[in-house]
Amino acid sequence: MSPSAERDRDAQLFVVDPVAALRPAKDSSVALMQAAQRAGLAVWACTPADLSAVGAADGSHRAMAWARPLRLAEVRPGGDGWIVPEPWHEAGEPRPLPLDHFRWVWMRKDPPVDEAYLYATHLLELAERRGVRVLNRPAALRAWNEKLSSLRFSQLMAPTLVASRVDDLAAFTADHGEVVLKPLGGRAGQGVVFAAAGTPGLRALLELVTLQQTLPVMVQAFLPGVREGDKRILLVDGEPLGAVNRLPRDGEFRSNLAVGGQPEACDLSGAEREICSALAPALKAEGLFFVGIDVIDGRLSEINVTSPTGIREVERLGGIPLADQVIERLLAG
């Protein structure tokens, strides 16, 4: 029997952190799972550690997963958040299944993009070669670092430098006065630091964040408009379907929700739509189906491809059934 004949055309596998550790009131992966279930699709889950590959004497190979079937309770908006039933999910016993059993596999493991993460993308690529659609495409997950990939569209960004040399970073800071330092492997605002040309101990700080000039970091001109928010825009197959503005709390310049930023409903400006249009051809060509971009004061900041968040906030504040729209687009593709 061919792989396509064996495939369950109504099954989706989500490669995620342990399901019990997910937060159903916040997690976009849970929102997508629930939307898939509402669409009549079977939902399965595993972690990257559950992936494997088997090679045969005839030279063939097959990627596998120890996967659990899930049944999810509905999570509904209420008050200032979501009403989560307890238990919010039921998981069946794990079963060893070839990845080409599934029509789609979502790679939604949160960063860091470490050695285990990269090996998981290689295993998923084996399934892709057998006709499974992996979201987002494994090769693109490896190639699109969420900080560095923005440089492909540097004309849309604030002035930016990526370097390890303290002299270069210090000169950039002197030129722009106020800057933001970002670790290339950071997530959720972790490790992002504000600095100014007159900051005491600036060179010592630069030595610290570059591990004594051995590790490149991103430095960007500080955008004062961040006080008005950092907009997360969610794109599906290159098209913006929803957005949420994230306001930094008092005394903080970072607006990430994980560090206390407050979400608010928003619309897209003309400049923000132009940014989305500029990115769309590359995102579609490289198999980046579900992407979250960050825009500050009309400037592109980051392109998030690993496990973009924001669905719950868009749904609650904007009244948009975003997760259902994502699955509808997937089914129509």
Q: Rg of the chain's alpha carbons, rounded to an integer?
A: 21
**Residue 302 among the catalytic residues:** yes
Q: Which of 90, 93, 101 is nearest to 12 (CA)?
A: 101
Per annotation, catalytic residue among 103, 108, 254, 299? 254
**Residue 129 among the catalytic residues:** no
Dihedrals φ, ψ of 208, to 5°? -65, -50
Per annotation, catalytic residue among 7, 109, 130, 147? 147
Per annotation, catalytic residue among 304, 313, 315, 316? 304
User: Each residue of 250-274: b (16+ CB within 10 Å) or e?
Assistant: eebbbbbbeebbebeebebeeebee
| Element holding 309 (H helix, E strand) | none
**Residue 100 among the catalytic residues:** no
Tokens, residue 198: 């007159």
CA–CA separation, 92 vs 110, rounded Å? 23
Q: How far is CA 247 from the centre of its chain?
A: 20
Please, where are the H alpha helices in the chain?
Answer: 3-6, 28-38, 115-128, 138-143, 166-176, 202-209, 270-285, 311-318, 322-332
Tokens, residue 236: 């599906």
Q: Which of 218, 226, 158 is nearest to 193 (CA)?
A: 218
Q: Does residue 122 sit in helix, strand or coil? A: helix
**Residue 256 among the catalytic residues:** no
Per annotation, catalytic residue among 232, 299, 312, 316? 232
DSSP secondary structure of 158-201: SSEEEES-HHHHHHHHHHHSEEEEEETT--TTTT-EEEETT-TT
Per annotation, catalytic residue among 27, 128, 230, 294? 294
**Residue 9 among the catalytic residues:** no
Per annotation, catalytic residue among 68, 103, 182, 316? 182
**Is residue 261 within 8 Å of 246, Cβ to Cβ?**
yes
**Residue 232 among the catalytic residues:** yes
**Residue 142 among the catalytic residues:** no
User: Each residue of 85-106: b (16+ CB within 10 Å) or e?
Assistant: eeebbeeeeeeebbbbbbbbbb
Per annotation, catalytic residue among 246, 299, 312, 316? 246
Per annotation, catalytic residue among 230, 237, 272, 302? 302
**Active site (catalytic) residues:** 147, 182, 232, 246, 254, 294, 302, 304
